[in-house]
């Protein structure tokens, strides 16, 4: 199993880390992604809770990643 890890800081006021575990499976690769983000601003945390759907984001992100990989 291979692992990719990075840390990030955004100009939008949050930071965190991102990790992906890649494992070969029949016909392709399985990916497991973990992202941890911290918003230091109390107002930023409130806005994130109200405006950000993590499930929708993950579904869209992984669909775009799959499409890009399969396009190559």
Enter the pTM of the model: 0.63
Instruction: At 5, list the tokens.
Output: 């890890």
pLDDT more than 90, % of the chain: 40
Question: Stretch 32-45: mean pLDDT, rounded?
Answer: 88
**What is the pLDDT, as a whole number, of residue 15?**
93
Supply the mean pLDDT for the chain.
89
**What is the pLDDT, as a whole number, of residue 54?**
85
């Amino acid at each position: 199993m291979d692992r990719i890890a990075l840390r990030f800081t955004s100009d939008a006021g949050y930071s965190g880390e991102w990790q992906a575990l890649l494992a070969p499976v029949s016909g392709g690769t399985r990916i497991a992604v973990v992202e941890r983000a911290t918003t230091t601003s109390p107002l930023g945390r409130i806005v994130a809770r109200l405006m950000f759907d993590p499930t929708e984001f993950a579904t869209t992100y992984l669909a775009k990643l799959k499409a890009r990989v399969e396009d190559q």
